[in-house]
Chains A and B, each alone.
Chain A
Amino acid sequence: MKRFILVISLVSASLALAAQENGYVTGSFETNNHLYVDDQVNDFVSDEDRIGSNNYLKVDYYNGNFSAGMQLESYLPAQIGFPEELSKYALSNLYVNWKDDAFQVTAGTFYDQFGSGLLFRSWEDRLLGLNNALMGARFAYNWEDKVAFKAIWGMPRLGMEFTDTQVRGADLSISLSNIIGLDDILLSVEGSLLNKYAKIGIDAEEAGGKPNSLGFSGRLNFDWNGFFAKGEYVDLGKKLVALETKHGNAQLLELGYNGRGLGVTMTGRRLEWMGQNILANSTSSANLMSYVPAMSTQYTYMLTTLHPYNPQVGDASTMAFNSGEIGGQIDAFYNFRRGTAIGGKRGMKVHANFSTYYTLAQEGTAQAGNLLFRDFSFDVERQWTKEFKMVLLYSLQEYNPGYGQYKTTWLSNIFVADLLYKWTSQLSTRLELQYLKTYEDKKDWMAALLEVNFAPHWSVWGSDMYNHGMTKKHYYNFGVSYAKGRTRVALGYGRYKDGFICSGGVCRSIPQYTGANFTVTTSF
């Protein structure tokens, strides 16, 4: 204990002394704890530990152009459903960085991405248990916002350790509009190169696989008076999938208009053998070196998230063989202003989305095969009075339970009412009522949530999701939270169904469980 206090004293004192000359220290702490409880109704028996505890301490020091920092993580043990390689504790991030108007140099751990991340992305998502930070070095140069260049080298992290996979990459962005001197237009061309060295097995070697791979991407960005267009082509080169040589490639196109209370975005994307892992032999959900998200609405209401869409990047390892997907979406947002006939006294906001994705019928083509996922949603939000606000949502979701292997699809109609009422300036309640109608899977569901907020600190909630169509099971959740300044403490208890936890369209599967949870997040 004495030694621990001495270390804390030394670190605190040295950081504080370093901060005296125009510098400062900032950081955050987060602890998420579960206490599991056996629950026959939920078919859940906790293991011997009965607890799951994920903890993160991050500290950064800034002084002018210089910064340095570290992150300490512990999993004592990791919560249920998290990647199993997360265990015990580690000083996971450690970096020094220097940045001015033109140059940036980083040594140690860092996060970065090229373009949309389809070629390369390193990032942290604590909800997924994912942290693929690179341990290495980065150099970036920016010439008066006309040309930006970046070079990276490093070893990506998987679980608690940095792997022996090596990543080298370069990214170049040329702003033609800034070079020519066009003020109203943005026009830029960009490109990236990525070399990866990852050990492969003897089988893969005999089948012609190579540890070195080279990928590249080319991008074009355009924006004029709110109209925008973005195009990206990604090529992962030849790669070995289930001992067969495949060509990884993707095309992404985004078009739209933003202005005058209207926002419209159209996205089209084709993926073919786009899975890119850190290690060849790991099945971990965190074994990712690029970001291939689901380009569809990210729902948040309970019954709308039962079957989130998980993009098909190309899979030869299961019965549901597919080489990728093709599809698109359109999103439209509009704000009926205050004082207009439809907007009324306080305005009204509407949003509609449609997305549809198919398997690739044939490799190397853009032919659509079986339907993978399709949804349509419409929501309207209106502040009726100073006290009362209402959101109504309708969502039609159709998904392929065989991940494209068969033509069979399941369809759900989901209705949500979200009603917020402010009783006083400090007391408010929010009620969610939800219904899911389907003739497939587990048939119909209903759900409700009531939240009572006592500003500025307290919030109490209770919810229940009930499958009255088949299983007759309740999935309840209740809790209380207290927030003051930068700190939030929450305590809850609930029964959770199996399914997927998704963040940004990347998902990890979780088993059902029942138990209490205790969370503290704070920063300084």
Chain B
Amino acid sequence: MRTFLLSIALFISAVCAAQVPSVTVENAKGEAFDTKTLLEEGTPMIISFWSTSCKPCIRELDAVYDALPDWLEEADFRVVAVSTDDSRLLAKAKSFAQGRGWGEDFQLLFDKNQDFMRAMNVSVVPHVFVVDGKGKVVYSHTSYVPGNEIELFEAIKKCSK
């Protein structure tokens, strides 16, 4: 039993070091985009996985969009919105994001065969990650109810200190 507990402890210590893997997705223009380049700026970021048919996802990104001017006064970070819509809704997702104004403030990525979603082990959307300036995932949350964005902001504030 001691061996078992030790192995689990070792496993958990390895799990705690999760990062952003290199996966090819699309940017808003339709060009190939390697997700590892997200880390090049070295600033903290929120990565939010969403889809056009997921209402809580849209409410969460709208809440972040509305609060962003105030948040940026207190912390230095970026928001990356990753659409998991497949080719049925890919073009619509791009128009949708523009129609909500997200394109001006968020970095938009499109993961049409859910490769990035799988690599980040996202089972259901919405799912947000906070990644620090060194590329390490320091906070993660699945699902959204109004008010969850407060916890998200606390997490981004901690790593932009």
Contact = CB atoms under 8 A, between A and B. Distances in A.
A26 B30 contact: no
Interface in B1-40: 1, 3-4, 6-8, 10-11, 13-15, 17-19, 21-22, 24, 28-32, 34
Interface residues of A, number: 97
B103 to A, nearest CB: 7
B133 to A, nearest CB: 17
A228 B94 CA distance: 11
A117 B87 contact: yes
Contacts of B34: 101
A293 interface: yes
Contact of A30 (B19, B31, B123): B123
Contact of B7 (A16, A124, A261): A16
Secondary structure at chain A's binding surface: helix, strand, loop or mixed? strand
Interface in A233-257: 254, 256
B109 to A, nearest CB: 15
Given A15-B14, A145-B32, A295-B88, A9 B7 contact: yes
Nearest to A59: B121
Nearest to B144: A483
A147 B58 CA distance: 35
Secondary structure at chain B's binding surface: helix, strand, loop or mixed? mixed
B150 A12 contact: no
B98 A259 contact: yes
B147 A453 contact: yes
A37 to B, nearest CB: 25
B121 A455 contact: no
B98 A24 contact: no
A333 B95 contact: yes
Contacts of B122: 28, 523
Interface in A107-162: 111-113, 115-117, 121, 123-124, 126, 142, 145, 148
B160 interface: no
B134 interface: no
Contacts of A258: 28, 94-95, 97-98, 103
Contacts of B98: 226, 258-263, 333, 335
B100 A267 contact: no
B91 interface: yes
A186 B30 contact: yes
A521 interface: yes
A15 B91 contact: no
B101 A337 contact: yes
A10 B7 contact: yes
Given A298-B89, A349-B100, A13 B11 contact: yes
Given A300-B55, A425-B150, A24 B114 contact: no
B30 A263 contact: no
A19 B17 CA distance: 9
A67 B91 CA distance: 31
A470 interface: no
Contacts of B121: 26-28, 58, 60, 523-524
Contacts of B28: 258
Nearest to A426: B147
A211 interface: no
A293 B7 contact: no
B145 A333 contact: no
B146 A422 contact: yes
A256 B30 CA distance: 13
Contact of B87 (A25, A116, A334): A116
Interface string B99-126: 1110100000000111100111111100
B76 interface: no
30 contacts: A8-B7, A12-B8, A24-B17, A25-B11, A27-B121, A117-B113, A145-B31, A148-B32, A186-B30, A259-B103, A263-B98, A263-B99, A265-B91, A265-B95, A267-B91, A300-B55, A333-B98, A334-B99, A335-B101, A349-B100, A351-B96, A420-B146, A422-B146, A427-B147, A453-B147, A456-B145, A456-B148, A456-B150, A483-B145, A521-B142
The 7 closest A-B pairs by CB, nearest first: A333-B99, A455-B147, A263-B95, A19-B14, A16-B10, A293-B88, A453-B145
